């Protein structure tokens, strides 16, 4: 069986998520990546957008979900996953990763992230 995916890699978004009031007031830079498994063979064979997922619509949906403030990035990732599945019910699986690029802590690290796979 042919497995096809669309991926959005490291979409940078400034958003206002966090447990502390300071994080929710000042915000942080996030990176969102996702991979969606869905049947796209017809689109690939026929060069027809009508048979695929328009990645610009995925980006729009992610931007909307990221604009809704949450305490936990786990909750944000769950909302993105839920919204994607609702919008494109033919999705067979995938994953979403939300990474906070500058977490407020006294340690040097690239990011702190949460991933959900289904």
Per-residue pLDDT tens for 8-35?
999 999 999 999 998 899 999 999 999 9
At 106, list the tokens.
């006294």
Fold annotation for 5-117: GTP Cyclohydrolase I, domain 2 (3.30.1130)
Q: What is the average per-residue pLDDT within 43-71?
A: 94
Answer for the pair 105, 118: CB distance below 8 angstroms, yes or no: no
Higher local confidence (pLDDT), 107 or 74 = 74
Q: How far apart are the first and last CA of the chain?
A: 19
Answer for the pair 8, 61: CB distance below 8 angstroms, yes or no: no
Q: Could you tell me which of 83, 78, 67 has the C-alpha nearest to residue 116?
A: 78
């Amino acid at each position: 069986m042919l497995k096809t995916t669309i991926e959005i890699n490291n979409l940078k978004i400034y958003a206002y998520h966090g447990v502390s009031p300071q994080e929710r007031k000042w915000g942080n830079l996030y990176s969102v990546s996702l991979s969606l498994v869905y049947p796209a063979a017809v689109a690939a064979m026929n060069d027809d957008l009508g048979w695929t997922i328009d990645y610009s619509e995925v980006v729009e949906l992610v931007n909307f979900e990221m604009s809704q403030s949450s305490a936990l990035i786990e909750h944000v990732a769950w909302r993105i996953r839920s919204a994607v599945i609702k919008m494109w019910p033919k999705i067979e699986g995938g994953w979403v990763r939300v990474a906070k690029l500058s977490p407020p802590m006294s340690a040097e690290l690239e990011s702190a992230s949460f991933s959900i796979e289904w």
